[in-house]
Structure 1
């Protein structure tokens, strides 16, 4: 059974399983803001259409200015990309043939991109229920590699580590002269976000990756950025194609960053719905990861492999994310996004039906 490697696009999943998609379904496999894009996107859209006749600004100056103002870093410390995926690919090219450690479970694109660049991949796997780093062994592993990928907050667990753990990891990598890449794609969904952005702008051994598509629900536009020391970013950016970010994405990104109320409202909504879901899981004997963002892991403890629950939910029109391609999880958990209230209710009703039959 060859399942899609990522969430979203559920039709591909049903096709892989040779299942007929139900008439109605909710895609919990994609971690996009359930409140949608800021209203300004629709307001400006017609005006932006005139920009498609000309080439986009290859320096992304306007967007860099907005990010620099928001994050308190210099524009020279930023590299804009066609989504975080392009930036991961550029980092992997920079690391060609190197030894790379990935703290797992984690976003599968790190390994895929690095394997394409003939890197040797090593894993440091964290385990439930707390998913904490094993510092003693990790310190030795860091010394033996050229780079470390660390997703924070973690995808797929949703776990956010405390600032002392992040500082320890940054210091350990710096002392070992090992490049640390922290992926903060879901940082702005946390009620108490922890970022290493400013440290990255001052260190030759730290990069911070951000996505603009999740919080602002503009995944189809593809937009992200990388923060780091200017000299390091210059080397990474040498393999980036000219005009890789389209004109409308550049405009939309700048507009989104100026709407602070949208992210504030989103965090409050996500936090309330997440706590409501977690209370239900506890009352009904479902295990979940201690997620702090807009997604979490869930499992029925009576099962090892969660395939039976996964397929039951699919037949009910509820698409969760399988975890077969996450080292350390291998199908023992399912990932679900925090959606709107009615959709979360639908999930809880389906899980109650599952419990009745099991």
Structure 2
């Protein structure tokens, strides 16, 4: 099946399957904050409009200063990007022609960007259903590797790896002159999060990517940032086009960083919905990953592969994210975002209907 390689934009998914997009549907395929953007963003929107006649600051100084203050790092250790996707592309250009290892399953853009830059891409496959990360098992894959891509908390499983394990991997990679690209696009959905940002001052091989579009519900604006040692930031930033981040995205980013209560409110909401959904899944013989963020993998444990469930849900206007382009998953799971209470309840209703089929 020639399915879209990302979630969202469901019209393309239905078209690829020869189906008609229902008038009413719920898109569970995009991992965006179900509470939407912070209300303060709407309040300021008219003010932001006045700024579209002005070129954006190519150095994003105000936003970088806010991040530096929040994370207690140097401004020179930050690079603002047009979403995490641009930052991944910049890193791939920096790694052009190198040997890259991707811990799978993981975000498909790592491989895509690296292949476009003539990297030799290899996989280190984690075993389902627990997807445990082990340095001992990873070591053979690191032999002669130039870079390692690790998504934590992981997309698509939603699993957070133990801090001690991630640190041991960073330390081992430093010994082997191997960069570690730690993608933390969903870090702020974690209730108990221990930041890796301070370690950029200890490990010269560490590059951290963060998204601001997921938590703050602004994927249409495209905004993220990278944290690493100043020399790495200076080198990677050479590949970035001038004015790649628009003015409104920069202003929105500054505003969003001031909304700490909104982040806490989101974390509580997501946790409560997980606690409501996961027991239901277990009771009705649906297996889920031990996610700690705003999405999870699910499968019908009575089926070997999930295509029939996938198409049933689409016919009912429930749109999960397929996993055919995640190495090691190949469609054996479906990924769902945590949505509003009403939408999550509708999902449970439809899954019950599925379970009651003859």
Number of matched pairs: 358
Aligned to 2:309: 309
CA distance in 1, matches of 2:295, 2:200: 26
For 1:38-49, what aligned pairs fall within 5 Å after superposition?
38-49=38-49
**Is residue 297–residue 336 contact of structure 1 (8 Å, CA) maintained in 2?**
yes
1:106 positional shift:
0.2
**Is residue 184–residue 195 contact of structure 1 (8 Å, CA) maintained in 2?**
no
| Cα distance per residue 1:12-36 (max 9 Å; x no partner) | 1111111111121000000000000
Deviates more, 1:196-205 or 1:234-243: 196-205
Aligned to 2:15: 15
1:275 positional shift:
1.3
1:354 positional shift:
0.3
1:140 positional shift:
2.6
Unmatched runs of 5 consecutive residues or more in structure 2: none
SS in 2 for 1:58: coil
TM-score for the superposition, normalised by structure 1: 0.98
For 1:144-183, what aligned pairs fall within 5 Å after superposition?
144-183=144-183
Aligned to 1:72: 72
Aligned to 2:199: 199
Aligned to 2:291: 291
**Is residue 38–residue 262 contact of structure 2 (8 Å, CA) maintained in 1?**
yes
**Is residue 133–residue 161 contact of structure 2 (8 Å, CA) maintained in 1?**
no
Aligned to 2:133: 133
**Is residue 187–residue 194 contact of structure 1 (8 Å, CA) maintained in 2?**
no
**Is residue 34–residue 338 contact of structure 1 (8 Å, CA) maintained in 2?**
yes
Unmatched runs of 5 consecutive residues or more in structure 1: none
1:139 positional shift:
1.5
TM-score for the superposition, normalised by structure 2: 0.98
Aligned to 1:94: 94
Aligned to 1:318: 318
SS in 1 for 2:356: helix
Deviates more, 1:187-196 or 1:312-321: 187-196
SS in 2 for 1:321: coil
1:279 positional shift:
0.7
